[in-house]
Amino acid sequence: MDENVDEPPTSTILLDSCHFSQVIFTNVEKYYMPGGDVTCYYTLTKNITPRRKDWVGIFRVGWKTTREYYTFMWAHLPSSLDSNAVLQQEVQFKAYYLPKDDEYYQFCYVDQDGVVRGASVPFQFRAEAEDDILVVTTQGEVEEIEQQNKDLLKENQQLKESCKSLQKQNIDLQEELRKAQEKMKQLEGEVCFLQTESFKLQSALDQQAVELNAVQIDLASIKEKNTNLGKENQELCSGLDSLKGSSEKLELELNSLREENRHLKEQNACRDAELHQLKEQSQSISSEKEQLGNRLKATLDQVDQLQFQSQDLTKKLEEKNHLFQILQRKKDELDEENQLLKQENSDLLRRLSALPDYSSFAAASPMYVQVPPEDTGLVFGNPYASPKTSAENMSSLKKCPWNTASFPEDIEESQYENHVQSHLLECPYCSQIFDGSSKQVYEDHLFCHNLE
């Protein structure tokens, strides 16, 4: 266990509620040598923010909650907490704290809340066997198993490539989403700025309209006063000229204000058009943001499904390898037993030939004569080899291809066929023929059909 006396944060959350794609374990070996330290390598994706109390534990396969860890190590807090970077991390487990049995285990990354964020493929603590090559009883089964292994390896490679592609698509989608969010914030700032400017222009326009109305009222009052002064007193002509000059000046100012008011209205119309265009862009970005979120969710679901399928295929391959090992051991036992039987049969034939009355016994029994098998190196003899006899009375005998029995040439064909068929066992599934003395091989063959 870790030298720190603190216990890691755990929870009773079932594994169905965990997220196994936020931390990816790499370079996980199938076997780890007992008695040695183990280094665990993992990658923190952009979907997780590491915290001080995160930890990496070793769990026995079949665990239900994070409280069932065997041993653990605190996860190192990365020096850079950039959310857009993919962080490569590692922890080392000391040999003293590792399991001593050959059960299947896996690494799990658990966050500060006790929730699993990533899990590795299963592995064992034992020496890797050098004789893992499996040999089945027939060449057809060997080719079938090799083809299945090639298909499984090819499918596993395709799944890994698909997983890498999906991870890359996930990273690209996250980058696009981040850029869209930044562009959205920038456009929102521009919209807010344009709205503020438009409000200021509208206020200035209203103020100028109020001032223009006041000037028009003052001009009407001045004209009225000028008319009254012209009728009342000629002495005020100089003052009237001055007032006329002032009236012209005010008229010029009024025209200038009208022109400025017209320009302000045109600018306001342009700003209204820009504001409408920005609103349409904002709606388009919101729709694109929602589509990117849906694509990201679908991608994450597909990544989880592919990881579960990869784990199921790995487990099925290990189960088939275990079954093939059992069948190989049974075949070796049968071969050894068959060799012993052949040796005993040879000894009995030699003893029988050494008896003084063997020739008279063979002459008295022409219907069933035992002939020593020739040494061909085959387990059950060569059914296509011609029988070799040294005696003249053996030239007209029929020999059984499955044992050393011989029959006269004039024996009925049905009797000879019944004798040969008594040594055969036929598979009801694939019609394959087996020797009757190899009943265990026949039963193992039927057992393989039942497993399919």
More confident residue, 61 or 193: 61
Per-residue confidence band for 120, with pLDDT thresholds at 50, 70 and 90? very high
More confident residue, 424 or 341: 341
**Beta carbons of 22 and 118 less than 8 angstroms apart:** yes
**173 and 97, same structural domain?**
no
Domain-located, residue 447? yes
Single-letter code of the amino acid located at 407: F
Domain-located, residue 36? yes
**147 and 47, same structural domain?**
no
Single-letter code of the amino acid located at 415: Q
**255 and 175, same structural domain?**
yes
**276 and 154, same structural domain?**
yes
Mean pLDDT of 46-51: 89
Single-letter code of the amino acid located at 269: A
Residue-wise pLDDT tens digits, 380-435: 555 554 444 444 444 456 677 666 677 776 677 777 777 777 777 788 888 777 77
Domain-located, residue 382? no
Domain count, the chain: 3
More confident residue, 277 or 395: 277
- H or E segment to which residue 347 belongs: helix 237-354
More confident residue, 367 or 201: 201
CA 219 – CA 213 distance, rounded (Å): 10
Domain-located, residue 225? yes
- Ramachandran angles phi, psi of 431, nearest 5°: 60, 25
Per-residue confidence band for 81, with pLDDT thresholds at 50, 70 and 90? low
Predicted local distance difference test score (pLDDT) of residue 138:
65
Predicted local distance difference test score (pLDDT) of residue 231:
80
**Beta carbons of 127 and 33 less than 8 angstroms apart:** yes
Predicted local distance difference test score (pLDDT) of residue 452:
65
**302 and 162, same structural domain?**
yes
Residue 136 pLDDT greater than 90, yes or no: no
**311 and 176, same structural domain?**
yes
Q: Out of 288, 320, 352, pick the residue that ends a domain.
A: 320
User: What is the percent of the chain where pLDDT is above 90?
Assistant: 18
Q: What is the pTM of this model?
A: 0.32
- Ramachandran angles phi, psi of 424, nearest 5°: -105, 150
**CATH code of 183's domain:** 1.10.287.1490
Domain-located, residue 5? no
Q: Which residue, 98, 93, 95, 96, is CA-closest to 75?
A: 93
Q: Which residue, 1, 14, 122, is CA-closest to 67?
A: 14
CA 360 – CA 267 distance, rounded (Å): 134
Supply 395's token pair. Answer: 């030239």
Q: Out of 128, 153, 171, pick the residue that ends a domain.
A: 128
Predicted local distance difference test score (pLDDT) of residue 36:
92
Domain-located, residue 230? yes
Domain-located, residue 406? yes
CA 432 – CA 396 distance, rounded (Å): 32
Per-residue confidence band for 2, with pLDDT thresholds at 50, 70 and 90? very low
The domain of 429 spans 397-452
**216 and 121, same structural domain?**
no
Domain-located, residue 10? no
Per-residue confidence band for 75, with pLDDT thresholds at 50, 70 and 90? very high
**69 and 164, same structural domain?**
no
Q: Which residue, 118, 265, 288, is CA-closest to 205?
A: 265
Helix, strand, coil percent content, the chain, rounded in steps of 5: 55, 15, 30
More confident residue, 3 or 207: 207
Q: How far is CA 122 from CA 28, 30, 155, 230, in A?
A: 9, 7, 18, 112
**CATH code of 62's domain:** 2.60.40.2840
For the ranges 17-26, 60-69, 193-202, 249-258, the maximum mean pLDDT occurs at 60-69
Q: Out of 265, 286, 320, pick the residue that ends a domain.
A: 320
**77 and 31, same structural domain?**
yes
Predicted local distance difference test score (pLDDT) of residue 85:
64
**303 and 272, same structural domain?**
yes
- The residue behind tokens 């003249």 is 392
Residue 53 pLDDT greater than 80, yes or no: yes
Q: Worst-scoring range by mean pLDDT, 27-31, 154-158, 212-216, 310-314?
A: 310-314
Supply 447's token pair. Answer: 């057992």
Q: How many CA atoms lie within 13 A of 128 on its CB side?
A: 7
**180 and 240, same structural domain?**
yes
**246 and 188, same structural domain?**
yes
Mean pLDDT of 50-60: 94
How many other C-beta atoms are found inside a 10 Å radius of the C-beta of residue 282?
15
